[in-house]
């Protein structure tokens, strides 16, 4: 109790009234002595309080650590096992709590999960397990003789039994093998299939049998300068508008300010060019909020340029398993490894990253949409393996030299049942209203724009933006 700085509040008669458990961020979770009721001091949002007891042990200070389901269980485990022991706030928030302090937990070579032996505890254990490599995970079987958690054993004077359970902990094994019988077949066929989210492109949606889906990876490939980042902005905005799912945007070459500016442009229907600080009452700020709809829903990757593939994949795992992200947009995969010493190192790293991402897509059931540049032969740059793991491959083309604003889609790969391949529509892009219009691209005008009057931006009070342009094909 002293190590964890757990305090007991007593009345004037010396009778215990409540117990306070201090969390690393300074908040205190207060539990009533006579009744199992909780409150926080001070009051407020608890999404980022993290793990109780984490601040008592330096990262990596021991080969092993243990995660429990209750604040009393953490010091109980530490007293008996003599290893760093921490607790989640509750079974319901377990994955989120661990995600906050994931790097601290992952600094240990072995991670023991000691959750309560009930349905809620098992669900919490499985949710937390998805945050880590299963090879590092071990599970304590705490249910026996009416005991269900670590503190039960300590209160009963059975610390030796708890120690024995710890020594005999088994590796955590995800359910990777299913024996087929009538019941399991019925269960599998009864699983709800998530509906597709339509692309902002009619033909592409029809040919993919409904659009973008969780559990699938979509590769968008094109030459440089075709407009892939703009296309990814359109897909991101579509997901934000058509779903209530959490979205992660990993645009490695794009500053966060530019990214938010693009979202505001799609929401307002005109190009926004930010000039200096944005005033809190600006329509741009309101537009971004309107695009995202709710706080803590959109997650932007705070990095620019080359990154470690393991760090990137771990970040995606944390976002999906801990923050309930259901869609990840990555622009572009080649940039992640652009700093490799040789082409051979780059190819190997791309192969490794692509395989790891595809495994995460299936394990965590999120939709991945990622970009790759291609060479003059139309092959994915850096590694030809990139396209082999994707469920869907969309080739994007535009006649840049002719100044065309028409983009052409071709479905080169379409893995869903009855999925079609081939030309998937042509769309005229208006760079000032951020709108795509399907067109018949059989003419010879190449979709070029002419402008009248000459392009002269008019600046608003808080941010510059282009207004009412007349244009003709």
**CATH number attached to the domain at 7-171:** 3.40.1360.10
Backbone angles phi, psi at 182, to 5 degrees: -60, -40
Quick check: 287 and 264 in contact, CB under 8 A?
A: yes
Residue 41 DSSP SS3? strand
What's residue 307's pLDDT? Answer: 61
Residue 323 DSSP SS3? coil
pTM metric for this prediction: 0.77
Boundaries of every domain in the chain? 7-171, 202-472
What's residue 349's pLDDT? Answer: 80
In terms of Cα–Cα distance, which of 8, 10, 14 is closest to 28? 8
What's residue 463's pLDDT? Answer: 37
Cα separations in angstroms, 232 against 111, 291, 329, 368, 411 = 37, 15, 7, 12, 16
Q: May I ask the CATH class of domain 202-472?
A: alpha beta
Burial 41-62, CB ≥16 within 10 A → b, else e: eeeeebeebbbbbbbbbeeeee
Q: How far apart are CA 360 and CA 26, in angstroms?
A: 34
| pLDDT, tens digit only, all 473 positions of the chain | 999 999 999 999 999 999 999 999 999 999 998 877 889 998 888 888 999 999 999 999 999 999 999 999 999 999 999 999 999 999 999 999 999 999 999 999 999 999 987 888 888 999 999 999 888 999 998 887 778 889 999 999 999 999 999 999 999 887 656 667 777 777 777 777 677 899 999 999 999 988 999 999 999 998 888 889 999 999 999 999 999 999 999 998 888 889 999 999 999 999 888 777 776 668 888 999 999 999 989 999 866 555 678 888 888 999 999 889 999 999 988 777 665 545 677 778 888 888 889 999 988 999 999 998 877 666 776 666 677 889 999 999 999 888 889 999 999 999 866 678 999 999 999 988 999 999 985 544 444 443 333 333 433 433 333 333 333 33
What's residue 306's pLDDT? Answer: 53
What's residue 176's pLDDT? Answer: 59
């Amino acid at each position: 109790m002293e190590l964890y700085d757990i305090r007991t509040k007593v009345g004037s008669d010396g009778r215990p009234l409540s117990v306070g458990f201090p969390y690393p961020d300074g908040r205190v979770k207060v539990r009533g002595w006579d009744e199992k009721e909780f409150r926080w001091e001070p009051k407020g949002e608890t999404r980022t309080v993290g793990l109780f007891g984490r601040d008592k042990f330096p990262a990596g200070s021991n080969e092993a650590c243990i995660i429990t389901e209750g604040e009393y269980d953490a010091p109980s485990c530490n007293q008996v096992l003599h290893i760093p022991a921490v607790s989640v706030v509750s079974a319901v928030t377990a994955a989120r709590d661990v995600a906050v302090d994931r790097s601290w937990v992952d600094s240990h070579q072995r991670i023991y999960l000691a959750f309560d032996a009930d349905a809620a505890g098992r669900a919490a254990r499985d949710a937390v397990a998805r945050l880590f490599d299963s090879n590092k995970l071990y599970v304590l079987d705490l249910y026996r003789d009416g005991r269900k958690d670590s503190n039960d054993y300590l209160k009963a004077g059975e610390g030796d039994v708890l120690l024995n359970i710890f020594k005999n902990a088994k590796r955590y094994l995800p359910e990777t093998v299913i024996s087929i019988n009538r019941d399991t077949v019925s269960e599998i066929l009864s699983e709800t299939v998530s509906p597709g989210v339509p692309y902002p492109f009619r033909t592409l949606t029809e040919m993919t049998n409904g659009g973008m889906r969780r559990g699938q990876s979509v590769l968008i490939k094109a030459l440089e300068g075709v407009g892939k980042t703009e296309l990814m902005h359109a897909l991101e905005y579509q997901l934000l508008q058509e779903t209530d799912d959490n979205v992660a945007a990993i645009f490695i070459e794009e500053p966060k300010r530019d990214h938010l500016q693009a979202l505001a442009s799609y929401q307002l229907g005109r190009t926004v060019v930010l000039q200096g600080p944005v005033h809190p009452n600006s329509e741009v700020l309101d537009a971004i909020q309107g695009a995202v709809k709710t706080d803590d829903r959109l997650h932007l990757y705070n990095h620019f340029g080359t990154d470690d593939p393991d760090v990137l994949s771990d970040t995606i795992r944390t976002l999906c398993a801990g923050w309930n992200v259901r869609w990840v947009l990555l622009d572009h995969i080649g940039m992640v490894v652009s700093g490799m010493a040789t082409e051979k190192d780059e190819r190997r790293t791309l192969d490794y990253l692509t395989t790891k991402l595809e495994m995460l897509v299936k394990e965590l059931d999120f939709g991945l949409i990622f970009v790759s540049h291609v060479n003059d032969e139309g092959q994915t740059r850096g590694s030809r393996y990139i396209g082999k793991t994707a469920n869907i491959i969309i080739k994007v083309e535009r006649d840049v030299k002719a100044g065309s604003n028409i983009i052409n889609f071709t479905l080169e790969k379409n893995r869903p049942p009855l999925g079609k391949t081939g030309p998937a529509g042509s769309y005229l892009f208006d760079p000032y209203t951020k709108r795509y219009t399907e067109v018949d691209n059989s003419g010879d005008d190449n979709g070029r724009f002419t402008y009248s009057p000459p392009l002269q931006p008019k600046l608003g009070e808080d941010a510059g933006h282009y207004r009412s342009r007349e244009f003709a094909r």
